[in-house]
Amino acid sequence: MGLIDDYKTCVGIGSANEGDRIFLIGTHGDHLGQSLYLRELLGREDGPPPPVDLTMEKLHGEFVRASIRSGYITACHDLSDGGFAIAIAEMCIACSLGADITINTDNLHAALFGEDQSRYIVSVKNENPGIFPANAESAGISIQRLGTFQGDTLAINDTITLSVTTMRAANENWLPDYMSDNSATEVN
């Protein structure tokens, strides 16, 4: 729980605007142990959970809060359950915008679904594009520019291309679809 001095300065996951730049605060994910991806898609619950560095968590959290107060960040989402791919999809659905993303890594799979700690996706106004990265550098924060919120499709490298409409329908219809599944067992 925290105290917010002025609720008008808050940002959510769906407050990005067309043309906002997308940054990753922290490093690309590489930790799939105990992840939702591993459990839900591969049916495994193995490997150690991602390590937690409380000093890095505090440093990144304070930088994000300061950047929001300064008006640079328009939307923010922590990277936890599901990793980058899930968080950016949730942001696209929430703001009704697509995103064009380029991730430069040798391990795209882990970058998309790794649940490494102390990481955030933020959108930054497309004004004065050098100020936010310069502030991060001077604060000792690792950031990477990944793309832009635009259009109506989430595109990540040449790997993922999904329309916001398709993602929203899948998100909103899963429970009704699950409940109407005739193969579900009735409970008496």
pLDDT digits (tens, 9 = 90+) for 65-78: 999 999 999 999 99
- 57: in domain: yes
Sign of CA dihedral 100, 50, 63, 89: positive
Residue 167 predicted with pLDDT over 70? yes
Assign residue 41 the CATH number of its domain. Answer: 3.90.650.10
How far is Cα 72 from Cα 124, in angstroms, rounded to an integer?
Answer: 6
Task: Please tell me whether residue 125 adopts helix, strand or coil conformation.
Answer: coil
| Residue 159: DSSP 8-state | T
Give the per-residue pLDDT at 182.
Answer: 57
Q: What are the tokens at 88?
A: 């950016």
Give the per-residue pLDDT at 174.
Answer: 83
- 12: in domain: no
- 2: in domain: no
- 55: in domain: yes
- 3: in domain: no
Give the per-residue pLDDT at 63.
Answer: 96
Lowest average pLDDT, out of 13-17, 92-96, 111-115, 146-150, goes to: 111-115
Other CB atoms within 10 A of residue 109 CB: 15
- 184: in domain: no
Other CB atoms within 10 A of residue 40 CB: 10
- 24: in domain: yes
Q: Please compute the mean of the pLDDT values over residues 111-122 and round it to a whole number.
A: 92
Q: Identify the domain containing residue 156 by its residue range.
A: 19-179
Residue 188 predicted with pLDDT over 70? no
Q: Please compute the mean of the pLDDT values over residues 77-102 and round it to a whole number.
A: 95
Number of independent structural domains in the chain: 1
- 6: in domain: no
Task: Please tell me whether residue 75 adopts helix, strand or coil conformation.
Answer: strand
List pLDDT tens digits, range 12-59.
999 999 999 999 999 888 778 887 877 888 888 888 888 889 999 999
